Amino acid sequence: MAGMKRLRVLGSVLGCAFALTACGGESGSGGSGAEGGAGAQGGSGAQGGAGAQGGAAGSGGSGAQGGTGAQGGTAGSGGSGGGWTVGEWVELVTGDWRLDPGEESYTCALVTLKEDIAIAGFRAISPFGTHHTVLSVEASTSQPDGVFPCSVASNGPQMIYGSGVGTQPLAFPEGVAINLKQGQRLLLNLHLFNVTPNALTGLSGIEVQQVDPSLVEHEAEMLLAGKEFDLFVDTGETTQQGGCTMRGDVTIFAVSPHMHQLGTHMRAYVDLPEGRRVLVDAPYSFDDQVFHPQEPQVAVPNGTRVEVECTYYNDRGSPVFFGESSLDEMCYAGIYRYPKLGTGSITCSR
């Protein structure tokens, strides 16, 4: 890929901008985001609360005790706690890219976390040319932080988030978050495809909402369940079936279908002791890949298989097989679940 690429890492990777509100802010009586100064006592949000920079937290009131991700703040005393509150959207990691006409490629961005964080919301930065994003925890320590050309296989074993074209922001249920630790390395894999006759440039990445780690009751994880290398999409309309067996008692709270340009419909379900629960049964569009929150959330016993059915209409005149390119096909249901069991791989087709 031509040109140099620029990595932008904000928030906790660099410091206080990753708190629940922006660094600084005006001081006030019990205000959040205060920077030193007055307003430390009473009110509904003690100084040193979410996003505070410096200063000592106040006492009393019903606000948060100390800050989440605060820089230099000291925890306050008293109060009844602020409850489950998510922060503003902030960039976690982004990378610049450039594509020549007709070019399809992969760009990765690798960063090392400077502090513990808890994430309860994701939003993709996906300008035109971004096919999909995959965010994972990288196990290797040999690659330095930065932006670099990579391949489809450049993913860590623990998936955190994935998006496609048109994916909307995702908010976790109250009490549920993904916990990440200081020193862990985050790997963002960008699949890029320019179908235009002109060069494209863009900035793709991930924004997150952070919560107080002490309020997290359930640690979540994500995996892709479906059919992989034996996927065969014949001409005309066909339906392929795959799935993933849960290796522990889990609760599923969101599902996101992912196919490519031939996909027309996805159905995913689990057969529970009390009967079948359909997770998603909806038309599919490559340009509108959405999350389906599960309301109510779905308690799935150990050994239960999530079944995934992908329907395609292939009018190309020849079969299409599994592959990462937009011209190939996939059959995955992205599943968010808790508790975290540890997947060993970002995909599951067994």
Q: What is the mean pLDDT of residues 248-277?
A: 97
Examine residue 25 and state whether it is found in any structural domain, yes or no: yes
Tell me, yes or no, whether 41 and 128 share the same domain: no
Of the candidates 268, 259, 267, the residue with the CA atom closest to the CA atom of residue 304: 268
Q: Which residue has the tokens 């003690």?
A: 46
Q: Which of 189, 219, 249 is the last residue of a domain?
A: 219
Tell me, yes or no, whether 183 and 214 share the same domain: yes
Give tens-digit pLDDT for 322-343. Answer: 998 888 999 999 999 999 998 7
Examine residue 165 and state whether it is found in any structural domain, yes or no: yes
Q: What is the mean pLDDT of residues 222-239?
A: 96
Tell me, yes or no, whether 230 and 205 share the same domain: no
Radius of gyration over alpha carbons of the chain, in Å? 22
Examine residue 146 and state whether it is found in any structural domain, yes or no: yes
Examine residue 2 and state whether it is found in any structural domain, yes or no: no
Tell me, yes or no, whether 125 and 139 share the same domain: yes
What pLDDT does 324 receive?
A: 82
66 Cβ contact partners less than 8 Å away, ≥ 6 residues apart: 48, 49, 57, 73, 74, 75, 76
Tell me, yes or no, whether 144 and 194 share the same domain: yes
Tell me, yes or no, whether 344 and 238 share the same domain: yes
pLDDT category of residue 289 using cuts at 50, 70 and 90 = confident
What pLDDT does 82 receive?
A: 60
What pLDDT does 190 receive?
A: 96
| 16 three-class SS | helix
- Residue that wins the pLDDT comparison between 56 and 96: 96
Tell me, yes or no, whether 170 and 126 share the same domain: yes
Q: Residue 3: phi, psi to the nearest 5? A: 85, 165
Examine residue 14 and state whether it is found in any structural domain, yes or no: no
Strand partners, 309: 241, 267
∠ CA 328-126-86, rounded to 5°: 125
What pLDDT does 50 receive?
A: 37
Tell me, yes or no, whether 244 and 165 share the same domain: no
Tell me how many domains the chain contains.
3
Q: What is the mean pLDDT of residues 193-221?
A: 96
Tell me, yes or no, whether 235 and 288 share the same domain: yes
Tell me, yes or no, whether 94 and 194 share the same domain: yes
Q: Which of 219, 254, 275 is the last residue of a domain?
A: 219
Number of separate helices (H) and strands (E) present in the chain: 0, 23
Give tens-digit pLDDT for 118-167. Answer: 999 999 999 999 988 999 999 877 889 999 999 988 998 899 999 988 89
pLDDT category of residue 223 using cuts at 50, 70 and 90 = very high
Examine residue 3 and state whether it is found in any structural domain, yes or no: no
Tell me, yes or no, whether 50 and 100 share the same domain: no
Give tens-digit pLDDT for 306-325. Answer: 999 999 999 999 999 999 88
The whole-chain average pLDDT of the chain stands at 81
Query: Does 11 score more than 80 pLDDT?
Result: no
Give the Cα separation of 40 and 48 in Å (integer).
8
Neighbours of 44 (CB within 10 A): 15
Give tens-digit pLDDT for 63-93. Answer: 333 333 333 333 333 333 468 999 999 999 9
DSSP conformation class of 230 = T
Examine residue 213 and state whether it is found in any structural domain, yes or no: yes
Examine residue 309 and state whether it is found in any structural domain, yes or no: yes
Residue 213, burial from CB neighbour count under 10 angstroms (0-12, 13-18, 19+): middle
Q: What is the pTM of this model?
A: 0.74
Give tens-digit pLDDT for 17-26. Answer: 333 333 333 3
Q: Which of 219, 245, 278 is the last residue of a domain?
A: 219
Give the Cα separation of 166 and 158 in Å (integer).
24
Domain limits at 239?
Answer: 222-348
CATH assignment at residue 199: 2.60.120.310
Give the Cα separation of 195 and 186 in Å (integer).
29
CATH assignment at residue 322: 2.60.120.230
Tell me, yes or no, whether 254 and 268 share the same domain: yes
What pLDDT does 261 receive?
A: 93
What pLDDT does 225 receive?
A: 96
